[in-house]
């Protein structure tokens, strides 16, 4: 890959970034209020369990380094954030309510990922076309969470 991206996964420059072994979560936000809450709290939640639209818990999801966010009718986005290395926490519906979540949580359990910082500048504010991602579904399934490699994400770069 010859695209702008960080060379290391950490500021101490110990953990080298290997795009095919670095995983990215793609998450959906319903509204500006929800995006504002995500940014303000540095948290993103995925429903978990067996319901439709839940994020499975696997090695790739737990070890994800980045999250890309998109909203309604937004198939091209440059919203990419570094996740904290601690991995996800389990939150209940009540935990979200206690944190003043902007909508009524529908699920019972959530995987909560902590966002470390906005890294869009590290990627030269590149926009990614979600329609080019193998697991992305448009229309009604566009809110469904997916996990991809950083290599695949970089191949979805919008060309100008």
What's the pLDDT tens digit per position in 117-134? 999 998 889 999 999 999
CA distance from start to end of the chain: 18
**Alpha helices, DSSP H, located in 63-149:** 93-98
Q: By percentage, how much of the chain surpasses pLDDT 70?
A: 89
Dihedral sign computed on CA atoms, order 9, 23, 42, 98: negative
The average confidence (pLDDT) of the chain is 88
Q: How confident is the model at residue 1 (pLDDT cuts 50, 70, 90)?
A: very low
Q: Quote the pTM value.
A: 0.87
Kindly calculate the radius of gyration of the chain based on its CA atoms and give it in whole angstroms. Answer: 15
Q: Taking 60 as the threshold, does the pLDDT of residue 99 lie above it?
A: yes
Indicate whether 139 pLDDT > 80. Answer: no
């Amino acid at each position: 890959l010859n695209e702008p991206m960080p060379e290391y996964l950490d500021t101490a420059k110990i953990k080298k970034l290997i795009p095919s072994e670095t995983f990215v979560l793609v998450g959906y936000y319903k509204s500006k209020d929800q995006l504002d809450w995500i940014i303000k709290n540095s948290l993103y939640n995925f429903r978990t369990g067996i319901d439709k639209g839940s994020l499975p818990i696997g090695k790739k999801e737990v070890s994800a380094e980045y999250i890309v966010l998109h909203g309604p009718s937004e198939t091209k986005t440059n919203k990419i954030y570094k996740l904290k290395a601690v991995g996800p926490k389990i939150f209940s519906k009540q935990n979200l309510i206690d944190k003043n979540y902007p909508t009524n949580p529908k699920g019972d359990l959530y995987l909560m990922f902590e966002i470390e910082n906005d890294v869009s500048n590290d990627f030269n504010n590149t926009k990614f076309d979600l329609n080019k991602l193998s697991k992305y579904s448009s229309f009604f399934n566009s809110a469904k969470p997916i996990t991809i490699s950083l290599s695949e994400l970089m191949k979805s770069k919008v060309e100008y």
